[in-house]
Amino acid sequence: MRIKRLRLAGFKSFVDAADLRIEPGLTGIVGPNGCGKSNLLEALRWAMGENSPKSMRGAGMEDVIFAGTESRPRRDFAEVQILAEQTGGEEDEELEVVRRIERGAGSAYRINGRDVRAKDVALLFADAATGAHSPALVSQGRISAVIAAKPGERRQMLEEAAGISGLHVRRRDAEQRLRATEANLARLDEVIADQE
């Protein structure tokens, strides 16, 4: 997968719609302190399904919505769109992932215009060996975190890079369904025993 474009509106300091083209290769973001470099990386991770407000440097998820300044009123929603290209198949396929949050209404996700769950978005990116926690997104402090990582954390990074973390999610899902089915079967046995 190659991310080609990032569009933001009402996200943190990006109150007006902003459109960023991401060219092939390594992309670095430079600018003076406080200009919004980290906000851009956070927008990318947020649209990929990040669900920890703390890692977005906020107390609650609605803190990603433009909070207003002395001269501009706050916004009621934030939206981030990722335009990507799915490579590796027979034909390259365009992919549009949108996350939107409204005050009091929470987050909603769309993939190519279709409403989906947060989990679908996380799986889509995990299968493409990327995602909200991908080591390919190098934020401030990330390099020292990689150096100081415990073996388990390092393994997680390698698994993400290898594109197999989606398999763990599916395994957890399957195990949960299995447990629910076992509980249903046990309940059914009880009902049958009561009837006899």
What is the closest distance, in whole angstroms, from the C-beta atom of residue 43 to ligand ATP in the complex? 9
β-partners of residue 110 are 98, 115
What is the closest distance, in whole angstroms, from the C-beta atom of residue 72 to ligand ATP in the complex? 9
> Burial level of 46, CB count in 10 A (0-12/13-18/19+)?
buried
**Which residues are annotated as part of the binding site?**
32-39
Kindly tell me which of 62 and 127 has the beta carbon lying closer to ligand ATP.
Answer: 62
Kindly tell me which of 63 and 96 has the beta carbon lying closer to ligand ATP.
Answer: 63
Give contact residues for ligand ATP (rule: CB under 6 A).
Answer: 12-13, 31, 33-39, 63, 65-67, 140
What is the closest distance, in whole angstroms, from the C-beta atom of residue 53 to ligand ATP in the complex? 11
Kindly tell me which of 68 and 173 has the beta carbon lying closer to ligand ATP.
Answer: 68
Cβ atoms of residues 3 and 82 within 8 Å: yes
How large is the angle between the packed helices 165-195 and 118-127, nearest 10 degrees?
130
- Please, what's the largest Cα pairwise distance for the chain? 77
Kindly tell me which of 57 and 117 has the beta carbon lying closer to ligand ATP.
Answer: 57
> Burial level of 44, CB count in 10 A (0-12/13-18/19+)?
buried
What is the closest distance, in whole angstroms, from the C-beta atom of residue 33 to ligand ATP in the complex? 4
